[in-house]
Structure formats: C-alpha cells, structure tokens
A and B are shown apart, each in its own frame.
Chain A
C-alpha cells in the first residue's frame, strides 16, 4: 500500500516534469485569455477574475497586477488585447503582459485604460500578497505577509500554511502565523484552532488585533466568545495606555509647531518690542521659497527632490531675512520708542505682502511635496509616529538651541542683548545700535522664514498661511513672557500638550476656547507671563 502510494507519487512527479513545458505554455495561454479578459466587465467581475488568476500561483502575474493597480494596464480597442503601458503624452510604450518584453508603441487613442477602484486595488493587493508569499526576496515576502494579514480570507489558508512551513525568517514567520490565525477566525475550522488563533492575534497587542477580534466577536459563541471578550478587554486596556502616550506626543508635536511659528516673533516682538504683525507673512514667504525651490528642482533636477528642504532652508533664511532687513531700514527704524505704531505699520506691510504673493503666485494652494524621508510613519508600540511630525519636533529643537546659542554665546548676541537692555549705554560703549537693530529684526524674520519651510510640510501653502499663525504666535510669546526665549519654549510646549490632552474629551473647538480662557486667567495671576523679566527691561 505504502509502496503503491510512493509509486503513484513518483509517477505523478514524472508526469509533471514531462508535461511541464506543455502545461506551462497551456497555462500561459490560459493566463493570457484571463489577463485579456481583465479589460472587460465591471469592477466586481474584474475583481473575481483577479482572484481566479491569483489561484494559478503564477508569480509572473505580479507585474500585471502591479500595473493594474497603478493604472498602467491598457486594452487595445481593436482586438481587446491587454498591455502594460507607460503613457507619454499621446504615445504609449507597450509591454507584453506574459513575456514582459517590449511590444512596441501605440497611439493613446487606440487604447483604453482599465479603470481601477478601491475594490480592485484591494483584490490586487491580496492577490499579489498570495502570489509573492513564497518569493525568494525577503522584502517582498514581508510585504506579502502584511497584505495577506490585512485582508485575511479562507482561500489563503493552505498557501499560508505552505509558506509558514518553508519560512525561516523569524519576523516574517510570525506575521504569517498571525495572518493564518486571522484567516482561521474567518474560516470554519475547529474550535481549538480558533482559540489558538485568538491567542496568536492577542500577542500583536495593537489596533489591527483589536479590529480582527472585534470582527470575530459577532459570530463567536461559548468558550471562544469568552476568549475573545477577555482578549478584547486586555487589548483595550493596553491601547488606552498607548493612547495617553500618543496624546502627549501629539501635544509635543503641536507644541513644536507653535514654537517654530513663535520663535521668530520672540525675537522681533519679545526682544525688540515691535508688535510685528507681518511675522506671519515671513512664515508664508518661507513656505513659498520652499515651493519655488521644489518647482525648480522638479523641472530641472528631479533627482535632488529629497534635498529640496535642505536647499530651501538657507534660501528662506536669507530671503526673509533680507526682506526683514529692508522693512526695518525702510519703516520700523523710524518708529522706535513708539511700539504701538509698529502694529499699524507692520499690519500695512502684511497686507501688502499678502496681496503681493497673491498677485505673483495666485490665490490658490501651491503644492509643496514631502520628501521621502518626511512621508509616512512608523509604529512605535501602539503609537503611530509620522516622520514629518517627528522631524518638525527635531527641527524646532535645533532652531531653538541654535538661537539660544547665538543669543548667549556670540558677540552679536551680546550686542543684541546690550542694545535691548540699555540702548544709550550700549551706544556709548561703541555698539552701532541701528545696525544691531536691523540685524536683530532680520534674524527674527529669517527664523520665521525657516519656520515656514518646516510648516509647508504640514500645512497649506497659500497667501493666508501667515494669518493663521499670527494670533497663536502672539499668545505663545505673551504667555511665556515677553523677552524670554525659555518662556516661549515652555509656553509653546505646554499650550500644545494641554490642547491635545483636552481635545479627545471636549473636542477641538472647545479645547481651544478653554486654552484661551486659561491664558486670560493666567495673565491675571502673572501679569508678565510665565517667565517674567526682572528689573528694568524694555516695556512694550
């Protein structure tokens, strides 16, 4: 009996080997028909065809699917043959779907693009996942494991089990196991299998686990139901802890945005006493500098795109610094000793700058892209950290420290402090006070400019950009205490964190209102802000 079975296997094996070329070409023929049929039918029909194709297990289908998801699959109108194609104005560069070889070019008008929707994209994702589970490339397998995990289905179970058996890489294997567990919960396997699956899933401890188990909760009963209930309770309590951490992180990230927006104002308003209403416009100009830099890069040096922000930083600093310098020389220097009138003049300047930008760049939003190192995010335990927020926190810290260094440790900083503390004395010590004033204002404006570079990553780049930050910036500086950089830091971070801790409970609007009321009450308690300057400092 045993022998017979072995014989049978050998025979089968031989058959397979012998027939392989024929069956392969047959399969190819089959695939070609199926691939060509992707061009017909509505979304759900196409989605069924994808599932059917993916069951062949033919890894060569992957590029076809990828092209489909990217919208690069076209049907030739005359004979309904499907091609992978790259569009270049009106010409399509065609690639054969099976052989992957070039199939010449065609006019765009002769072809019709196969439309995709989310359903199809999901189907393609699952299909690619299933097809590449056995891929030799580690990265590809990892991605495949994830995509099978994120859309578990009973169909994939056997494939997963094969994959798990041959997988040697630890992390991939555990994801595959989790994917298998998720699929088991959806299947009609035995109770024990399912209870084991629940255990596997709980180990993830994240929101995906929560999602899978909540979905399974509905049609579970008895022991399994109890297991799931317990698991969910556990997951919820874990998640609650992470949520608290997450909120504090959000608060820090909001705080660092506020800090960036306000730190330039802490110089022009805090140190120099100019009620600088054009501060927001400097931030906006910094953002527009980024836009221009990216435009140039996009059209001329696309490979430098990831460097665009780093190129934009010094440029933004110089441009806004120079504009600041000319505003100081042209207008503000006539207004020293009349701080309230600087409000009027800088408000006028801000109107002019806004309308200027509107005339040059148009009133609508401009696209500023995120470089790859600022896109996306990563999971940190149960928290989601996005790269752009993380870099902004780091950048804000760097700007703050640099500024502190300039103020406290350089000659210019010393002169600046001397002039603001006692102008006459500084002047008689031989400091060129007008020059120091101009440079200080330029420094504050320049810093607003580089803040604009950072803020362009998370916000609209439009002529109204600055307006939306100006009030918050003034609040931060005043709350922290005019004339004190540390006050600005503490003010920005505490406002950010309090805001984000309140938001989940009372919503964004009420949270903000409450913050404003708190600021008003706080100023009653400490009429000179958090870190009040002692002694005879400049009064504004």
Chain B
C-alpha cells in the first residue's frame, strides 16, 4: 500500500530527479575513491565536500519550498531549524572528541574547560549517543516549529507578519547562541571535530559517505515532499495558499494543515543542518543570521518556487556561483550576485524551472488540450501568493 502511495506520488520529472540524485550518490564517491588521482574522471575530495555542502543547502531550500511554495508561508527563519539540527549534530561530534581536546579533559569540551565550567550542563546529556543525537536532530527543530506554528497559525498570523516573526525567532536564537553562558561555545561555536560513528571525519571515505548520505537524504526528502504535494493533503495546502478563507469555509482547518507541513519542513531543515556540519567542520551562531534565511528564500526563488526541483537547482547554482565568484572576482562578486537577484525577479519571475515549464507548456498546449485533472486556481490569490496557476498544479 505504501509503495502504491509512493508510486502515485511520482511524476516523471520527480522520479528522474530522484534517480539522478541516487546515481550521483554512488557515482561521485566512486569517482573520488576508486579512480586514481591521475585520471581525468577523478573528482578531488574538496569538490566532493563542496558539492556535499550544496546538497545540504538544496535540502534546506526544498524544505522551504514545501512551506512557501505550497503552503504560502514565507518563513524568514528556516536557517534557524537548519542551525538547530546542525548544533544537535555538532554536540554529538564534540562529545566524540573525548579526551583528545587540547586540554585532554575527558569530560568537558575545550571551550567549557577554558571558561572554567566544572560540569556539563544537563542539556548536553545523551549527546554522546548517536541515536540520541539523531533523534534530537529531528525533534528539536520539529518541536520548535510545532510550538511556534501552533501559536502562530492558531491566531491566524499570516503574510508578512508571519515572515517577520519567523525572522524575530531566528534573530533571538542568534543572540542567544552568541552568549557564552548558553553553553554552546558562543561565537566560536563547535569545532575541531574528530570522529563520526567511529570513523575519522576528515578521511576521504567519510567525506564521500557524507556526500552520498546528503544526496540520498535529498532524494528521500524529494520523494516525501512530492508525496505530500500530490496527495489530497497537498491539494488542500495549495488551496490554502491561494485562497485561505475560501478553503476554510469549505470546512478545512488551515492551522492543522499548515502546522503539519511547517513541522515536517523544519525537520527536513534540521537534517540538512546535521549533514552540513560534519562536511564544513564547524557550527556557529552565524548560521542563525537572518540574512542566511533570506538567502534560502532567494535560492528557492531563483530555482523556481513551488516546483520542488527548482529550489534544488537554485540552491546549487547560486552557491556554486558564490564559490566561483568569491575566488575569481573577490572584489566585485557582490555586484554579480546582486545583479543576479534583480535579474531573476525581473526576467525569470517564476525562477529557472518555472520559466522552463512555462515555455514548454505554451508549446504543448498548442498541441493538445489541458489534462482534465489540471487544477485551476484563482489567480488573484491573497497574501501575495501570486504564482501562476500552472506551476501550482502537481501534474
């Protein structure tokens, strides 16, 4: 039954994309580990890590697309969930250092030693077990999203008000995590990781595995998202996005739908953060910065909002561009990035994927009539959700 459900949720594009991700998850590590460094097919380790990082960003953008593209919730605080997942992972990794820290203290991490802490704060307990950390990676962002969403959606906070309070949330967390008294390492954050699940975190094999894990996590998240948006539940979400009052009058309870989606999305962001941390080797409160959340929105918009695949492409492209530009044109790269954002909004208002689809559709509609199940959505949506109807419909 489940497989039937999953199969139903797949359209051709999504399944191709999942297949590509799965293939990448195996081929890239293989090219990195098995092919000799002399060969032109060899992928250097740093590139593996770099692209692994992009994949986690892509997962974060996908999570945002689920709430923004399909539910009309513009979260300007998604980086908070990402960072919380990252911190949960970071805490596990710090506990794995054991007595290999600079002070050789078997009980306390280095930053606690030099701040003269005598014992470990209670919230660090349990993080020496991977299963516990893994649970927390899902539970903490999920719980925060649940509580936050429960409060916000129940009192019908919508639109820009919702966006700004999500921003307030991530900003408050940023300030809180900067405080050294919090016991998360303050501004320096958590770093100097050694092992993950008993393997050296810097080894080539570990890097390749983390890359594979990111690709697979992204594929699974894509599968789940696709399943959600293609189910009846997903149709209600789109209805909410485009005409919340109308949907409510039809007897649906918007707050429940939004809450579930928001929580799932936050958990995905948490997983992305958890995969991100071992690949970059540091987690620090800077990840909570409101600007980071805005960037996620931008990746999603560049790729194409409400398309699931778009955010993946957007996140990868923008970050790849950033990597190249900061190295090649360190003085002027911000001009290029800024111009890219302006140009995208002006010339590709539906993002890369959205525009592709539009082009292809205008060609196909000339050939054959629209499919009957194609959802016609009111174009004059409220809350500024003015996506073109065709990209909403999950075909």
In the complex, are the beta carbons of B335 and A520 less than 8 A apart? no
A342-373: which residues lie under 8 A (CB-CB) from chain B? 342-345, 347-352, 354-356, 359
Q: Is B292 an interface residue (CB 8 A)?
A: no
Query: Which stretch from B50-58, B99-107, B118-126, B169-177 is at the chain A interface?
Result: B169-177
List, in ascending order, chain B residues with CB within 8 A of A539's CB: 159, 382-384
Closest to A355 in B: B334
A468 shortest CB reach to chain B, Å: 11
List, in ascending order, chain A residues with CB within 8 A of B337's CB: 348, 351
A510-540: which residues lie under 8 A (CB-CB) from chain B? 510, 512-513, 516-517, 519-521, 523-525, 527-529, 539-540
Contact with A along B249-292 (1 / 0, CB 8 A): 00000000000000000000000000000000000000000110
Dominant SS among interface residues on chain B = helix
In the complex, are the beta carbons of B294 and A340 less than 8 A apart? no
List, in ascending order, chain B residues with CB within 8 A of A341's CB: 301, 345, 349
Q: Is A103 an interface residue (CB 8 A)?
A: no
The one of A338, A345, A521 in contact with B342, judged by C-beta atoms closer than 8 angstroms, is: A345
Q: Is A22 an interface residue (CB 8 A)?
A: no
- Known contacts: A349-B338, A350-B338, A355-B332. The answer to whether A523 contacts B160 by CB under 8 A is no
Query: Which stretch from A119-127, A242-250, A329-337, A442-450 is at the chain B interface?
Result: A329-337
A77-111: which residues lie under 8 A (CB-CB) from chain B? none
Q: CA–CA, A482 to B151, complex, Å?
A: 20
Closest to A512 in B: B175
List, in ascending order, chain A residues with CB within 8 A of B161's CB: 478, 482, 523, 527-529
Contact with A along B155-175 (1 / 0, CB 8 A): 111111101110111011001
Q: CA–CA, A2 to B156, complex, Å?
A: 100
Q: CA–CA, A341 to B385, complex, Å?
A: 10
Q: CA–CA, A474 to B178, complex, Å?
A: 22
Q: CA–CA, A338 to B350, complex, Å?
A: 11
List, in ascending order, chain B residues with CB within 8 A of A231's CB: none
Q: CA–CA, A527 to B340, complex, Å?
A: 34
Number of interface residues of B (CB under 8 A): 49
- Known contacts: A344-B301, A524-B151. The answer to whether A352 contacts B178 by CB under 8 A is no
Q: CA–CA, A529 to B332, complex, Å?
A: 40
List, in ascending order, chain A residues with CB within 8 A of B157's CB: 523-524, 527
The one of A475, A517, A527 in contact with B155, judged by C-beta atoms closer than 8 angstroms, is: A527
B195-233: which residues lie under 8 A (CB-CB) from chain A? none
Q: CA–CA, A292 to B148, complex, Å?
A: 46
B204 shortest CB reach to chain A, Å: 36
In the complex, are the beta carbons of A343 and B171 less than 8 A apart? no
Closest to B295 in A: A347
Closest to A351 in B: B338
Closest to A358 in B: B334
The one of B74, B172, B331, B332 in contact with A340, judged by C-beta atoms closer than 8 angstroms, is: B74
Q: Is B355 an interface residue (CB 8 A)?
A: no
A465-479: which residues lie under 8 A (CB-CB) from chain B? 467, 471, 474-475, 478
In the complex, are the beta carbons of B332 and A517 less than 8 A apart? no
The size class of the interface chain A forms with chain B is: 35 or more
List, in ascending order, chain B residues with CB within 8 A of A528's CB: 161
Dominant SS among interface residues on chain A = helix
Q: Is A1 an interface residue (CB 8 A)?
A: no
A526 shortest CB reach to chain B, Å: 9
A516 shortest CB reach to chain B, Å: 4
The one of A345, A474, A513 in contact with B345, judged by C-beta atoms closer than 8 angstroms, is: A345
- Known contacts: A516-B172, A520-B165, A524-B155. The answer to whether A347 contacts B290 by CB under 8 A is no
In the complex, are the beta carbons of B298 and A344 less than 8 A apart? yes
- Known contacts: A344-B301, A355-B334, A512-B175. The answer to whether A349 contacts B155 by CB under 8 A is no
Q: CA–CA, A356 to B335, complex, Å?
A: 8
A395 shortest CB reach to chain B, Å: 26
List, in ascending order, chain B residues with CB within 8 A of A517's CB: 172
The one of B172, B341, B386 in contact with A513, judged by C-beta atoms closer than 8 angstroms, is: B172
List, in ascending order, chain B residues with CB within 8 A of A478's CB: 160-161, 164-165
Q: CA–CA, A359 to B341, complex, Å?
A: 20
In the complex, are the beta carbons of A351 and B164 less than 8 A apart? no
Can you list 9 A-B pairs, Cβ within 8 angstroms, ordered by A?
A331-B345, A345-B341, A347-B294, A352-B334, A355-B335, A467-B291, A516-B175, A521-B151, A527-B161
A-binding residues in B (CB < 8 A)? 74, 148, 151-152, 154-161, 163-165, 167-169, 171-172, 175-176, 178-179, 290-291, 294, 297-298, 301, 331-332, 334-335, 337-342, 344-346, 349, 382-386
B-binding residues in A (CB < 8 A)? 275, 277, 331, 334-335, 337-345, 347-352, 354-356, 359, 467, 471, 474-475, 478, 482, 509-510, 512-513, 516-517, 519-521, 523-525, 527-529, 539-540
What are the 3 closest A-B residue pairs judged by CB atoms, nearest first?
A348-B341, A351-B338, A352-B338
